[in-house]
Amino acid sequence: MEPKKTPNTVAKLNRILSKVRRRRVTTIDVVLDLIDEFGHVAIQALDALEEGRAYRIRFGRAYNVSFFVGNRDYYIILPETGYCGCISKYAVGAVERSLCYHFIAFKLMESLGIVKELSFEKRDFRWVIDELKYKKIDMDI
């Protein structure tokens, strides 16, 4: 099943996940709604849920960086916008593209309250981002 290419998919994802946020649990209704709306991408996101690969790094009170550890890469996530860093690698048709599994998995884990949080000082921002960019950080911290 291919994901539906309809406008405002972030709003649709948020509507589906509002049930999860209220109860902090994923029900079969939510799973079916995700699959109906996003197809095989939702199944990939549900698989990633078990592995808990969503992170948010806080740099003091100044910055938050959200990202998802994919199978081969780290992807910056902008949760409110629908942006995932994988778009920079697969930009063909980016304007009309459907949400990727990295983004859906991140939002699902965020709704469940299981995004892993890491904290650093504000002064550490540059080196942490550089480490992420070059895949040197071991996420089993």
pLDDT (tens digit, 9 = 90+) per residue, 122-137?
888 888 877 776 665 5
Q: What is the pLDDT of residues 15-62, one digit of tens each?
A: 999 999 888 888 999 999 999 999 999 999 999 888 888 988 888 877
Alpha-carbon dihedral angle through residues 80, 5, 71, 137, given to the nearest 10 degrees: -20
Structure tokens at 37: 């709306």
Written as one letter, the residue type at 13 is: L
Asked if residue 141 is part of any domain, the answer here is no
Q: What is the domain count for the chain?
A: 1
For residue 19, being part of any structural domain is answered with yes
User: DSSP code of 86?
Assistant: G
Provide the pLDDT confidence category of residue 141 given band limits of 50, 70 and 90. Answer: very low
pLDDT class of 89 with cuts at 50, 70, 90: low
pLDDT-derived band of residue 96, with 50, 70 and 90 as boundaries?
low
Asked whether residue 100 is assigned to any structural domain, the reply reads yes
Residue 4 lies in a domain: no
Q: Which helix (H) or strand (E) holds 118?
A: strand 116-120
Assigned domain for 2 exists: no
Q: How many residues does the chain have?
A: 141
Cα distance between residue 39 and residue 4, in whole Å:
8
Mean pLDDT of the chain: 81
> 137 burial class (0-12, 13-18, 19+ CB within 10 angstroms)?
middle
Do the domain assignments include residue 1?
no
Residue predicted with more confidence, 5 or 39: 39
Which residues partner with 119 through β-bridges?
58
- Reported in sequence order, the residue ranges of 60-108 that DSSP labels E, i.e. its strands, are 63-69, 74-78, 83-84
- Taking residue 13's Cβ as centre, other Cβ atoms within 10 Å add up to 23
Tell me what pLDDT residue 126 has: 83
Q: Is 116 among the domain residues?
A: yes
pLDDT(102) > 50: yes
Question: What is the span of the domain harbouring residue 103?
Answer: 9-133
